[in-house]
Amino acid sequence: MPIRIPDALPAAEVLRQENIFVMPQSRASAQDIRPLKVILLNLMPKKIETENQILRLLSNTPLQVDVHLLRIDQRPSKNTPQKHIDRFYRDFDRLRNGNFDGLIITGAPLGLTAFEDVYYWQQMSEIVHWSTTHVTSTLFLCWAAQAALNVLYDMPQFTLDKKLSGVFSHQTVGGHNKLLRGFDDTFLAPLSRNAGFPLHAIKHYTDLDILATLKNDELYLAASRDLRQVFVTGHPEYDACTLANEYQRDVEAGVSPLLPDNYFPSDDPAQTPLSTWRSHGSLLYSNWINYCVYQITPYDLNSMQLSDHD
């Protein structure tokens, strides 16, 4: 899929070097088709790295996607040049009056923080509610999934006894759901979270279709029956070395982190890890874009008639 992004966005050159078709806005505007309009609300600290990862996965279909980068945290960034954020990211006020085909909300390192103590919790709640009437389908990743479950279903916050970090085997349980088309019965995916997603709570508080689980007691993938809200509790977008970088960051910070499970060869952090989940991540994003967005969204977004969550 040609990704339509600003010509000068750093991800453009990174993806071109990987032979991924990146279409500059100047060329895309000359094509007589309507690109899908997708917002990326990037809550991760290293925004450029996350941009590269998400855009790489969005490139796996023949559809043209016009990506809008959104920010809600106005504090100076410690991990991303402020010039980059000011140049490429928009505030919500510039988007709130429009309709969009898709919205992706990333994870954030907030698993040990109470929702009411999150600096931008009010804005986060507003955008989640807004998405139910202005977006065809929203993909919530990791912490964003936990946050959205609270906002949409009033599900309380669950915290694990220890951080779940590593690459884990998951199993599909969703039968013939469109999001699972092409999936094997079991697949690998990286997790990096303190948040808990117990299946008993998902079943008690929500009416979501449970599509994939971890060890039959933790949720990995779920969706509303109309596919307008999709919840992923891991990080299928991660590069091979992302977990290694997080582990080294915590070591240097004196946190004494546990070694990520099933990740480093021979459990030796001096060895280079391999990506064993790339095909799963690409397929998940491809299915979301195709079946949850493209096959459902109207050609004229101004004609969008979406009912609220409930």
Annotated binding site: 163, 192, 249
Residue 114 tokens, joined? 């109470």
Domain 3-239+275-303: CATH architecture, name and number where available:
3-Layer(aba) Sandwich (3.40)
Catalytic residue among 51, 218, 237, 246: 237
How many CB atoms lie under 10 A from the CB of residue 213?
21
Residue 78 pLDDT: 86
User: Could you give the CA distance from residue 160 to residue 158 in angstroms, rounded to a whole number?
Assistant: 7
| Structural element, H or E, at residue 59 | none
pTM, to two decimals: 0.88
- The answer to whether residues 23 and 55 touch, using CB atoms and an 8 Å cutoff, is no
The Cα 275–Cα 236 span in angstroms is 10
Catalytic residue among 68, 134, 170, 235: 235
d(CA 164, CA 239): 17
Residue 187 β-bridge partners: 170
Numbered residues of the known binding site for substrate: 163, 192, 249
Q: For residue 306, what pLDDT is reported? A: 62
> Domain segments of the chain: what residues?
3-239+275-303
pLDDT tens readout for residues 244-253: 999 999 899 8
Q: What is the dihedral of CA 157, 163, 169, 172, to 10 degrees?
A: 0
pLDDT of res. 31? 47
Q: Where are the alpha helices (DSSP H) in the chain?
A: 10-17, 25-28, 47-58, 82-88, 121-134, 143-153, 199-205, 242-252, 278-287
Instruction: Please pick, among 49, 51, 142, 292, the residue that the annotation labels catalytic.
Output: 142
Give the residue ranges of the chain where pLDDT is below 50.
1, 27-28, 30-32, 310
Instruction: Note if 292 is an active site residue.
Output: no
**Residue that has been written with the tokens 């013939």 in this structure:** 176
85-120 pLDDT per residue, tens: 999 999 999 999 999 999 999 999 999 999 999 999
Position 61 scores a pLDDT of: 73
Number of residues written out for the chain = 310
Annotated active-site residue 51? The verdict is no
Give, as one character, the DSSP assignment of residue 184: -
Residues 6+ apart with CB under 8 A from 53: 237, 238, 239, 242
Indicate if 235 belongs to the active site: yes
